[in-house]
Structure 1
């Protein structure tokens, strides 16, 4: 189902900017929010509440495209010896708590009488069942926590918004600053990733709410 009005949080990032542009190219009215352009800090509830309270409902799509792999120079751990409490806390705040706070305050912006989608960027490495390599403790843990938060929220939201769809989406490896330090991975452009993610969002049904999907709409194990 085509999107008519969308909110993109994290719209100054590589994927976020591409999502906003792709949605506009498809005829949607897009509201963009980001830290660099608007001062929105998704880890600060007062900031989230203030920015979202200024918006008028409804939005067919709320897409949270925030996140980071490296925070304050702390790169993904290769072993337990590198596990740092502050790095783990920072990952959790940005990659799990941030999108959850957006959902908490964006729920009033989602329609009750028709279909509406809330999507957050997750990552396949957040899958516990698919973890065959170990390592990357903080980032993996934060994304696994995000998946649980969105999955649990979907159960509750269905009671008041029976047409709502909440989803965690893995975009693939996208050529942005986020992945610049990982040249050996096959990457797609932000524009390609955005088009694929929007197709997934527009193709999901309410009975799939709370799910974890990749860029092709395939379900990823928890």
Structure 2
């Protein structure tokens, strides 16, 4: 049974991307916490609707939910690695402009607007966590390839780091975190070699929530793994 200790009693949560494997697991885990008063989900099929490829929907959904805030926890559980006409590139020769544009829109540009419009809905001592990926670490890149995914997550990490500096000036007790979930059983990981060792989404969600719960304002702007390790940029 989950128990978040750092968010206080009757805390409210917003999960953006609640229909994905990890998003669903986050929602289920948080709803099991007796201290959680409300879990609100946002996505392409919710009302209000939020689509990372539709900037207007991001702003409008934030406006609609403003009256429900402040939220003590906001989770952005979205991302794209592959899909129709989008596959991780093995070489420079495989880079295609439209696929690159779509990956950056979902992994970087959309989340940037989420930070802009939803951070003001965070409580002054709350936490916002965004799913990134270890392959977005420039310092840890030893294999190459996956140009769009790596680059979009590296750019996302810079957005989070930069926004955390601004956030600290206004709300020094708040936390903004970039999280690496590891390989999780999901449609995102299924086609790839590491899927055989993937962890169930419920396990991954519990581990990530523990990292958030154990973090402090000192960790804001950090890039943290699901086991709590700090990752290199």
Give TM-score scaled by structure 2 length.
Answer: 0.91
1:203 to 214, 227, 231: 214
State the secondary structure of the residue aligned to 1:5: strand
- Of the structure 1 ranges 183-192 and 171-180, higher mean CA displacement relative to structure 2 is found in 183-192
CA distance in 1, matches of 2:164, 2:15: 19
The CA RMSD measured in Å over matched residues stands at 1.2
Moved over 4 A (4+): none
Structure 2 counterparts to residues 1-222 of structure 1, below 5 A: 1-3=5-7, 4-27=11-34, 28=36, 29-38=38-47, 39-55=49-65, 56-112=68-124, 115-185=125-195, 186-222=197-233
CA distance in 2, matches of 1:123, 1:105: 23
Instruction: Describe the superposition over 1:161-199 as per-residue Cα deviations: whole angstroms up to 9, x where unpaired.
Output: 111111110001000111110254410011001101110
CA distance in 1, matches of 2:180, 2:194: 19
CA distance in 1, matches of 2:27, 2:51: 19
State the secondary structure of the residue aligned to 1:73: coil
Conservation of the 8 A alpha-carbon contact between 1:71 and 1:90: no
Give TM-score scaled by structure 1 length.
Answer: 0.95
Query: Following TM superposition, by how much is the alpha carbon of 1:2 offset from its aligned partner in structure 2, in angstroms?
Result: 4.2
> Runs of 5+ in structure 2 lacking a partner?
none
